[in-house]
Structure 1
Amino acid sequence: MYALGLIETVGYLTAVSAADAAVKAADVEIVGIEKVIGVNGSLGVTIHFSGDVAAVKSAVDSGKEAAERVGKVISAHVIPRAHSEVAGKLLPIFKLEKKPAAQEEINE
C-alpha cells in the first residue's frame, strides 16, 4: 500500500458521489467501505482509497469537493504511508470483497 485516503460522509449518496469523483480524478482503487449508523440515526459512510501518494491526495481532494456539492462531508484525510499494523490488521475489517467474474458481467 502506498497511501491510504479516507472520505467520511453523511449518507450513501454523498459517499457514492465522492467515490465516483475520486476514481475519475486519479489512478486509485477503492479498497474498503465502512457504514455506521450515527447520531440521530444518520448513516455515516467512509470510503477507503489506495494508490500512490499524489494520486490519493488528488482523488481525496476531488472526491471531497464533489461530495460537498451533494451533501455533508465529515472529514477527509490522506495517510502517505500507512503503518503495517494499520494496513494489515485494521483495514481488512472494512475491505470490499471481489465479486465473481460472472456476477460482474451480469451487473454490467
Structure 2
Amino acid sequence: MPLAVGVIETLGFPPVLAAADAMVKSAEVTLVYYGLAESARFLVAVRGQVAEVKRAVEAGIEACEQAQGDGGQLITHYIVPNPPENVESVLPIHFTKKSEPFRVF
C-alpha cells in the first residue's frame, strides 16, 4: 500500500523540534528524515497513511506556530499522497536503518 509523505520546513530549531514532536504524537506516522536545509532552515518528514500524515502535518503546523518565539517560524509544508518509486529512491524520504524500528504500519 502506498504511503504518503509530509514535510514541514521551519526557520530555527525550536519550531522544527516542536513540529516533529507533535507530528509523531498526534498520528500513526514514522519520522523518516530530519535535516538542516540552509540558513537555519530545518526540515522534518514523516511517512504513513494519507489520513495519518494529514493529521500529523496539521498538528506539526500548530505546534510550530506556538513555538515561533525569537525569530523562529514556519516556512512551508507539503504532503505528497503517493510518491512514485523514483522520487523515493532519490529523495531522503525512505525508511532507513534508524527509522525502521519505529515504523508504525
Short-chain TM bin = 0.7 to 0.9
Higher radius of gyration, 1 or 2: 1
* Aligned residue number for residue 13 of structure 1: 14
* Aligned residue number for residue 98 of structure 1: 98
Q: Determine if the alignment matches structure 1 residue 53 to structure 2 residue 54.
A: no
* Aligned residue pair count: 95
The code of the aligned residue for 1:45 comes to: F
* Aligned residue number for residue 102 of structure 1: none
Using a 3 Å threshold, how does the CA distance of structure 1 residues 52 and 95 change in structure 2: closer, same or farther? closer
TM-score by length of 1: 0.79
The separation in 1 between residues aligned to 2:53 and 2:30, in whole angstroms, is 9
Structure 1 runs, 4 residues or longer, greater than 3 Å off: 94-97
Deviations 1:5-51 (A, max 9, x none): 0000011111010000111110000000120332xxxx100101000
* SS at 2:92 equivalent: helix
Q: Determine if the alignment matches structure 1 residue 22 to structure 2 residue 19.
A: no
The separation in 2 between residues aligned to 1:97 and 1:13, in whole angstroms, is 26
Deviation at 1:95, TM superposition (A): 7.0
**Which sections of structure 1, spanning at least 5 residues, go unmatched?**
100-108
Deviations 1:48-92 (A, max 9, x none): 100000000000000011101112100111100011111111226
* Aligned residue number for residue 3 of structure 1: 4
Using a 3 Å threshold, how does the CA distance of structure 1 residues 35 and 96 change in structure 2: closer, same or farther? farther
Alignment RMSD? 2.1
- Trace 1:19-98 onto structure 2 (pairs within 5 A): 19-38=20-39, 43-71=40-68, 72-91=73-92, 98=98
User: Percent identity among equivalent residues?
Assistant: 33
Which structure: greater helix fraction?
Answer: 1
**Which sections of structure 2, spanning at least 5 residues, go unmatched?**
100-105
* SS at 2:98 equivalent: coil
Using a 3 Å threshold, how does the CA distance of structure 1 residues 96 and 65 change in structure 2: closer, same or farther? farther
